[in-house]
Structure 1
């Protein structure tokens, strides 16, 4: 379950908050869509849930874990690929070997197929 309670977040230097007193509960075993125009806060919401951004107020929990703490028990259940990122100069096999331990349910068979 993902739960946001009274979350407020704004980027430094911005005159408006992206989220103000925002609350939502996303239940387990459900599929949700995240739709909206560019700049409406879709990526920001995902980064808040992953703990990559921190709300100025409110609480964000993923399966009961405080998202801001980025605990390994929470992070092993989450994967986000940002819009822009740089990969290290390693082979795919090396990258998998480095990162697979963080994801206990990772399957190399699924990756290859």
Structure 2
């Protein structure tokens, strides 16, 4: 029997001084064990939504719970059950990979030999054991991306938020990251994932939601959404049909 990992009711966010609403009356339920892809063009509200769920910014209205916890009633338990991997590197460049992970692991309450073993095993799993004592500032983009991922999952969170986890990496790093995420999912981690790589999302996600202008327009399995659009053959076709063909990189 599945349980609810994330429950969102009428969540909205309007930034002070803005003449538009970044997230508008969004409601969504994500079950434990899902890989939910949050898709949308630039400015759709994806990062704002994740920021609210991570406790970085406060909603204007609405409410949500994660693993049954809310920030109002159980902020410590909620944060301990979450893993967050941002798009920007959240690493200390002058520290080694091992030192970075020891630091972030300690922030989540890990310590001693158990922490050291977890750091070494994780680096080895992503092909970084040889480089664990090299400073992160000397790493390639793909290597930094892998360390960035490990920093968010050392404590084995029940829910993991990923913001563009494979952006700017080569094919080999991308494959290593995706295989590692599949292993985490197999072990029971619920994953919420944003990406502009729609073919990747189609293959990886058990369910997706498409956002535009702060609203959640459609949700379902990739196969369901493709079947609902008469001319669609891929998730990218569905995405363009919903969000339009206008350029969004301006």
Which bin holds the TM-score, normalised by the shorter protein? 0.7 to 0.9
Q: Does structure 2 retain, via aligned residues, the 8 Å contact 1:54–1:68?
A: no
Q: Give me the whole-angstrom Cα distance separating, in 2, the residues matched to 1:40 and 1:96.
A: 32
Pick from 102, 113, 124 the counterpart of residue 112 of structure 1. 124
Long gaps (5+) in structure 1: none
CA contact (8 A) 2:8 2:29 kept: yes
Give, in whole Å, the separation in 2 of the partners of 1:68 and 1:98: 27
Q: Corresponding residue for 1:61?
A: 65
User: In the alignment, does 2:112 pair up with 1:97?
Assistant: no
Which residue does the alignment assign to 2:220?
Answer: none
Q: TM-score, normalised by structure 2?
A: 0.40
How far apart are the structure 2 equivalents of 1:14 and 1:85?
28
Report the structure, 1 or 2, having the larger helix content: 2
Cα deviation, 1:17-73, whole Å, max 9, x if unaligned, reads 112222111111122111111110111111111111110111121111114678332
Based on CA coordinates, which of the two structures has the bigger radius of gyration?
2
Report how many aligned residue pairs link the two structures. Answer: 113
Where structure 2 has 5 or more consecutive residues not aligned to the other structure, the ranges are: 126-250
Whole-Å separation in 2 of the counterparts to 1:14 and 1:80: 27
Q: TM-score, normalised by structure 1?
A: 0.81
